């Protein structure tokens, strides 16, 4: 039974690598099939496509841990903050947000 777990662990280690190489091929194929005809750019190699993927991950996705969703964490903290407010504080908070986002002059 322990051998099955080891083989599954090796499999899950290889899955992200296979996905990376497959996605790199898709990016290269799409770039070379579409962009040279539309905007007259040069075709790219496999490694250049991988560089584009890594660069886009750095610029747009970062390198956070898998499953670490900072937006979800901030949302939970915000909801807890609202729940812990008294009714008066809550109405005051809502009015402040209305003034901030709806550009109301009566605030």
- Domains of the chain: which residue ranges? 1-63, 67-107
Q: Rounded to whole angstroms, how far apart are CA atoms 90 and 82?
A: 7
Is there a contact between 49 and 22 (Cβ–Cβ < 8 Å)?
no
pLDDT tens-place string over residues 25-42: 999 999 999 999 999 999
Neighbour-count burial of 31, counting CB atoms closer than 10 A to its CB (0-12 exposed, 13-18 middle, 19+ buried): middle
Tokens of 99: 């003034």
pTM: 0.53
**31, 48 Cβ separation under 8 angstroms:** no
pLDDT digit string (tens) for 41-91? Answer: 999 999 999 999 999 988 987 665 555 566 678 888 988 988 999 999 999
Q: What is the pLDDT of residue 61?
A: 79
């Amino acid at each position: 039974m322990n051998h099955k777990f080891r083989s599954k662990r090796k499999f899950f280690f290889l899955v992200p690598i296979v996905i990376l190489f497959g996605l790199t091929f898709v990016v290269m194929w799409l770039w070379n099939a579409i962009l040279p005809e539309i905007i007259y750019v040069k075709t790219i190699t496999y490694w250049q496509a991988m560089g584009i993927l890594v660069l886009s991950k750095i610029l747009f996705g970062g390198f956070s841990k898998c499953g670490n969703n900072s937006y979800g964490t901030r949302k939970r903290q915000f909801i807890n903050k609202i729940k812990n407010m008294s009714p008066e504080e809550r109405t005051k908070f809502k009015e402040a947000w209305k003034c901030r986002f709806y550009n109301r002059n009566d605030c």
